[in-house]
Amino acid sequence: DVKVTQSSRYLVKRTGEKVFLECVQDMDHENMFWYRQDPGLGLRLIYFSYDVKMKEKGDIPEGYSVSREKKERFSLILESASTNQTSMYLCASTPTGLAGTNEQFFGPGTRLTVL
């Protein structure tokens, strides 16, 4: 089974802190994604990566950055957390061969609260 894991299920941080959210997949997938999920807004793409050290902005990249140093790991970084970044963050991955059919495999999510 494909397994996508995220470093924390729940996280509480203070305004201005630097926050790292980690995602690891164990199926050698080329493509990885970070979304945020908010009520009434569905899932919105923050960043994605189609190869090691490659990254592309999604629809809402402002206030975020990412890092992909190894194929299995994709990190989301909040340089200076703000209260409007309180949300559920979901990581996903998919192999290149399935990109056209877009069956993405999701982690369980990290619920981040910024106080």
Residue 82 CB partners (closer than 8 Å, separation 6+): 15, 63, 114
Least spacing, CB of residue 31 vs another protein, in Å: 8
- The DSSP code for 4 is E
Least spacing, CB of residue 30 vs another protein, in Å: 10
Of the candidates 1, 35, 32, 47, the one whose C-alpha atom is nearest the C-alpha of residue 104 is: 32
Burial of 71 (0-12, 13-18, 19+ CB in 10 A): middle
Least spacing, CB of residue 57 vs another protein, in Å: 11
Interface residue with another protein, options 19, 87, 107, 114 (CB under 8 A):
107
Taking the CB of residue 25, how many other CB atoms lie within 10 A of it?
23
Interface residue with another protein, options 19, 104, 112, 114 (CB under 8 A):
104
First to last CA, the chain: 37
Number of residues located near another protein, criterion CB under 8 A: 24
Least spacing, CB of residue 74 vs another protein, in Å: 14
Site for another protein in 25-64 (CB under 8 A): 31, 40-45, 48, 50, 58
- Residues engaged in binding another protein (CB under 8 A): 4, 31, 40-45, 48, 50, 58, 90, 92, 99-109
